[in-house]
Every structure is written in C-alpha cells, then in structure tokens.
Amino acid sequence: PCWRVEDFVVAQECTRCSSFQAKTIPECSPTGFIEKINCATSKTDAFKSCRSAVMEAHVFWRFVGTMMCVATVFAVLVVCRQRVLDRKALEKVRKQIESI
C-alpha cells in the first residue's frame, strides 16, 4: 500500500465499515473501521484500517464496569467468609469456656 512508503493525507476520518464494505474491502476485517487516505506522491486513493477512539472508549468503560462488578462480588464473598470464620472462632471459644 502507498501509505506505508510515502506521505498521505486523511481524506475521510475513521468510520465503521458497512456490511458491503466489510465484504469487499480487505482492510475492514482487522478492526471493522477504515479511513480513506490520499497518497501524496502517487496521487492515489487507498483505504487503511484504523481504530475508532469512540469504540475504544466504549470497550474501556465496559471493561472497567465489568471489573468493578467482579470486585464487588468478591468483596461480598470475603465479608461473608470472614463472618463464617468469626462465628466458628466464637463457637470454639464458647465450647472451651463451657468445658472448664
């Protein structure tokens, strides 16, 4: 591709590939987004695979939300387990005191 060996100008910003573009333009397959570029020296138009900032932000916040949910679940499990262990320890102490 010309954009690897020469300077280029972005003619169309990074956009999601349509279903037709996904089938016909091979650059769509890696990320699902393409941008149209004009190569300066050869004066040709080409497509280049790109990553959408909006999509990256959406994926990041989904990941953060998922991790917060997982952390909350495990925090609740830790608290429940600690209560069970405290109850067992108190029961053991109570039995030792009763046996005296």
pTM over 0.75: no
pLDDT for 23-71, tens place per residue?
Answer: 888 888 778 888 888 887 878 788 888 887 788 888 899 999 999 999 9
Per the domain annotation, does 19 fall within a domain?
yes
- Could you give the 3-state DSSP secondary structure of residue 14? strand
The per-residue pLDDT of the chain, averaged, comes to 87
Q: For the domain that residue 34 is a member of, what is the CATH number?
A: 3.30.720.220
In a domain, 12, yes or no: yes
Kindly state the percentage of the chain with pLDDT values over 70: 100
Angle at 5 (CA atoms; ends 41, 35), nearest 5 degrees:
80
**Cα–Cα distances in angstroms (integers) from residue 96 to residues 12, 37, 89, 100, in the given order:** 78, 80, 11, 7
The whole-number pLDDT of residue 4 equals 76
Would 23 be classed as within a structural domain? yes
Flag whether 26 is in a domain. yes
Would you mind telling me the total number of residues written for the chain in this entry? Answer: 100
Does 76 fall in a domain?
A: no
Residue 84 pLDDT exceeds 90: yes
Is position 46 within any domain? Answer: yes
Number of folded domains that form the chain? 1
Structural domain for 12, as ranges: 2-51
Instruction: Please tell me the distance from the alpha carbon of residue 49 to that of residue 98, in angstroms, as a whole number.
Output: 75
